[in-house]
């Protein structure tokens, strides 16, 4: 855990944040455990540790250290969209926050997120870069759980897709929307094989199933795109399965 002032000074460098952070506890969780559940475990620990009896729930947020240029705060409302491995960087980092200031920040970020999604949908790469540089995470999703990458894929914006995959971690490629579909699923649905190739080469999880139990290859088959289906099945064989039961520190 780190203080907000330390985060503001070092938001561009997770190593510096780690130097001033305090190790609170170690927990055992599955790799596919989402942050919403992890918050429950952390809150239980923090409330037991707090001798003053103050409820610490909602007074902190997770940090996403998967980007090379800066460390982003994760909106608690979107914690269900992230697995532990999505933000794992030598442990899970959390930061104390001022609830009033955080509420104001979220309102501003919601507006910028809509600008980012619009730019991705329209293929406006310069706007995408501008909004990202203002501090909005490329992983931030809308109310449907769709990330900017989802929209770039759906609207067949290969340049934007290339930009996003080069600026996010591999785990961010596997963000799911409210149907459980990743950007790769969308690429199969909207028949954009070149973008499928880009996502696969970037490390997208080909074996990931949506909430209906379909992989991208299965969807390609249903869409009658046997060539794409064969390609995805071939690539799927070369990917290693994710390991479970990781231990991480907070």
What class has domain 104-242? mainly alpha
Minimal CA–CA distance to 245: which of 30, 76, 58? 30
The model's confidence at residue 69, banded by pLDDT at 50, 70 and 90, is: confident
**At 131, is the secondary structure helix, strand, or coil?**
helix
Task: Check pLDDT > 90 for residue 134.
Answer: no
Residue 240 Ramachandran class (φ > 0 left, ψ -120 to 50 alpha, else beta): beta
pLDDT score at 58:
57
pLDDT score at 49:
67
**Structure token digits, residue 87:** 């933000």
Mean pLDDT (whole number) for 64-76: 83
Mean pLDDT (whole number) for 165-169: 90
Mean pLDDT (whole number) for 187-198: 96
Return the domain boundaries, the chain: 4-97, 104-242
């Amino acid at each position: 855990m780190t203080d907000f002032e330390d985060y503001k000074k070092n938001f561009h460098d997770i190593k510096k944040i780690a130097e001033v952070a305090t190790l609170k506890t170690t927990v055992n969780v599955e790799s596919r455990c989402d942050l919403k559940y992890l918050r429950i475990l952390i809150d239980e620990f923090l409330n037991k540790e707090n001798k003053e009896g103050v409820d610490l729930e909602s007074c902190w947020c997770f940090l996403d250290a998967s980007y090379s240029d800066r460390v982003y705060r994760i909106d608690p409302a979107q914690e269900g969209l992230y697995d532990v491995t999505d933000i794992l960087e030598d442990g899970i980092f959390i930061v104390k926050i001022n609830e009033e200031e955080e509420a104001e920040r979220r309102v501003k970020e919601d507006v910028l997120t809509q600008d980012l999604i619009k730019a991705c949908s329209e293929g406006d790469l310069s706007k995408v870069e501008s909004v990202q540089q203002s501090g909005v995470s490329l992983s931030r999703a809308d109310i449907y759980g769709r990330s900017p990458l989802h929209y770039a894929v759906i609207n067949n914006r290969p340049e934007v897709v290339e930009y996003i995959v080069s600026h996010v971690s591999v785990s961010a490629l596997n963000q799911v929307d409210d149907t459980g579909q990743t950007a790769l699923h969308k690429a199969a649905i909207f028949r954009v094989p070149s973008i499928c190739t880009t996502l696969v080469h970037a490390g997208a999880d080909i074996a990931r199933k949506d909430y209906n139990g379909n992989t991208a290859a299965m969807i390609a088959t249903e869409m009658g795109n046997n060539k794409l289906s064969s390609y995805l099945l071939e690539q799927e064989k070369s990917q290693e399965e994710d390991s479970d039961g990781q231990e991480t520190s907070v």
